[in-house]
Amino acid sequence: MLAQVTPERDLIRCPLDTLVIGSSIGRNVSPFNSVYGATKFAVHCLTEALRRQLGPKGIRVTLVEPGIVRTNFQSNANYDETWFEVYCKEIGPVLDADDVVRVIDATIGLPGHVNLDNISVKQTRQSYP
């Protein structure tokens, strides 16, 4: 990507983006899955370092931190299926991957001099994390 930063390239009209997917758990570590939370906290720190390295060169770096998103993560993380469905009804409708993609599309569609560096995206009724 650094090779694409040339004097001929208009970084305002044709920006360069690095997007990193983290998690809201990276800022609000859960007592139920501390290792996962710690790794997402590390993603936040790494992304900030990358932003400080690449931003001055004209490359935008954005961390997207979704809340609860309905994916296969819940089954892979051994969530209790009944509990998860009840929770989804409480806070729903729950985000899906397309919701996160729409946020990313809006972000990379901004002019090159505008950088949303950290984006937290949750369903409206999600109070934690």
Choosing from 36, 57, 87, 89, which is the catalytic residue?
A: 36
- Is residue 128 part of the annotated active site? The answer reads no
Of the chain, the end-to-end C-alpha distance in Å amounts to 34
Chain-centre distance for alpha carbon 6: 28
What is the length of the chain?
A: 129
Phi, psi at 121, each rounded to 5°: -125, 120
**Where does residue 23 rank: exposed (0-12), middle (13-18), buried (19+ CB within 10 A)?**
buried
Q: Is-catalytic flag, 40?
A: yes
Q: Which member of 40, 87, 89, 128 is catalytic? A: 40
Which residues are annotated as catalytic?
36, 40
